[in-house]
Amino acid sequence: MNLFAEAIAWLADPTHWSGPGGIPTRVGQHLLITFAAVAIAAIVSIPSGVLIGHLRRGAGFIGAITGAARAIPTLGLLTLFGLALGIGLTAPLLALVILAIPSLLAGAYAGVQAVDPDLPGAARAIGMSPLQVVGRVEFPLALPVVVGGLRAATLQVVATATLAAYTSNLGLGRYLFAGLKSRDYAQMLAGALIVAVLALVLELALAACQRLAARRFARPGSHPRTGRRGARSTDTTAIATAASRKEVTP
């Protein structure tokens, strides 16, 4: 029996689907760690990226932050945090947050910065406040790119969240670490397969969300695929119409 068949047999064993160390529990823990890390990173990164994109300044800052964060090895960072904070979830969670920040920050900045400058100018001319310009014009139009950054960050985190088991008894990484320690390579491969399937499911779900956002918040005056006039929000429609007719000036 080859290793792949042994891994499938391990997954098919009913005893591995129940109890505190069962597959459903481990999957739930893995998803919770992933969503927590991405949520914390999003709270920090998306407002910052939107603000920088709105001001249309700080491209060098974004490049420096994302480049530096991506260059840091997550395992090394986790080891450093583990030594400083001890055993538990805090160390891997911090490492995963840092891993997620570059994609979220770059997506938010790039999406808002790519909005046609005439639209925010027209929105201000018809009486919108800066906050309304961001919330009702720029951010909706940038949403497909923002979701793209969220998609990339989630996939990176869900694949790397196995490292949470390095300092805690949580997540699908336990199958990898326990299998390595006991030389149960079927268990290791089974854990890796579950992580791969989980990443694929999240990829498909977030890709669908990105396509939906692209259709719902198409660039004013065009369909996201055909380039034809498509559906838009009431605010951006009115602003785009006013700008195109030169009824207002930026």
Nearest alpha-carbon partner for 86 in 8, 154, 168: 168
Residue 111, domain member (yes or no)? yes
Say how many domains are in the chain: 1
Round the average pLDDT of the chain to a whole number and report it: 84
Residue 75 C-alpha from the chain's centroid = 19
Residue 225, domain member (yes or no)? no
Residue 27, domain member (yes or no)? yes
Residue 51, domain member (yes or no)? yes
Q: Is 83 helix (H, G, I), strand (E, B) or coil?
A: helix
DSSP output for 197-223 = HHHHHHHHHHHHHHHHHHHHTPPTTS-
Question: Going by C-beta distance under 8 Å and a sequence separation of 6 or more, which residues neighbour residue 59?
Answer: 109, 113
d(CA 27, CA 53): 36
Confidence of residue 147 (pLDDT cuts 50, 70, 90): very high
Residue 231, domain member (yes or no)? no
Q: According to the model, what pLDDT value does residue 239 have?
A: 57
Segment 122-149 shows an average pLDDT of: 87
List, for residues 41-56, the tens digit of each pLDDT value.
Answer: 999 999 999 988 888 7
Residue 20 has pLDDT above 60, yes or no: yes
Amino acid identity, position 31? L
pTM of the complete model:
0.83
Q: Which domain holds residue 155?
A: 20-121+129-218
List, for residues 60-104, the tens digit of each pLDDT value.
Answer: 777 787 777 778 888 888 989 999 988 889 999 999 999 999 999
Residue 230, domain member (yes or no)? no
Segment 24-32 shows an average pLDDT of: 95
Q: According to the model, what pLDDT value does residue 228 have?
A: 41
Residue 149, domain member (yes or no)? yes
Residue 63, domain member (yes or no)? yes
Would the CA dihedral through 177, 160, 72, 77 be positive or negative?
negative
d(CA 208, CA 182): 40
CATH of the domain at 100: 1.10.3720.10
